[in-house]
């Protein structure tokens, strides 16, 4: 039986922090302190080290059913499209087609694992197991893959 795995985008696969720091409008009002509203931010984020390879291993594994689960800022509707285009840029379309879920309440989804870097938007209340990416236990993609494949 396949295990259902949800993977957050920002901070887990896409380097949101770097994108926020390097964005030319990051310190301009009304974006200062609200990086999720930065125009075009989500379109060109760099991948986190090991993320593309790690996700591809999960996508290729027959015992995992993988979905991307991300929250898109309500006040930045272009981000919704940019997240979709971002995964298409880094992953084969046949592997990821119709596997992106944008949701502000991650606890409502049913699955075995959620890989997410933040407890917000329902991640900490997820009914399966929340793997806190970037934590001491799951600092990188190698640790996540070792755990899931154990």
Q: What's phi and psi for 83, nearest 5 deg?
A: -65, -40
- Dihedral over alpha carbons 53, 54, 59, 64 (to 10 degrees): 160
The set of catalytic residues is 8, 10
DSSP 3-state of 88: helix
Cα 134 from chain centroid (whole Å): 12
Ordered strands of the 3-7 beta sheet? 100-102, 64-70, 3-7, 113-116, 129-132
DSSP 3-state of 74: coil
């Amino acid at each position: 039986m396949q295990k259902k795995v949800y993977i957050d985008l920002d901070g887990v696969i896409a380097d949101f922090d770097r994108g926020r720091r390097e964005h030319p409008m990051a310190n301009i009002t009304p974006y200062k302190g609200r990086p999720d509203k930065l125009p075009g931010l989500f379109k060109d984020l760099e991948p986190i080290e090991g993320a593309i390879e790690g996700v591809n291993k999960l996508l290729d594994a027959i015992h995992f059913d993988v979905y991307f689960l991300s929250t898109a800022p309500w006040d930045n509707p272009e981000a919704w499209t940019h997240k979709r285009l971002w995964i298409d840029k880094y992953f084969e379309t046949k592997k990821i087609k119709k596997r992106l879920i944008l949701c502000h309440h991650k606890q409502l989804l049913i699955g075995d694992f959620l890989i997410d870097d933040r407890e917000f938007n329902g991640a900490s209340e997820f009914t399966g197991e929340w793997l806190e990416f970037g934590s001491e236990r799951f600092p990188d993609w190698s640790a996540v893959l070792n755990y899931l494949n154990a």
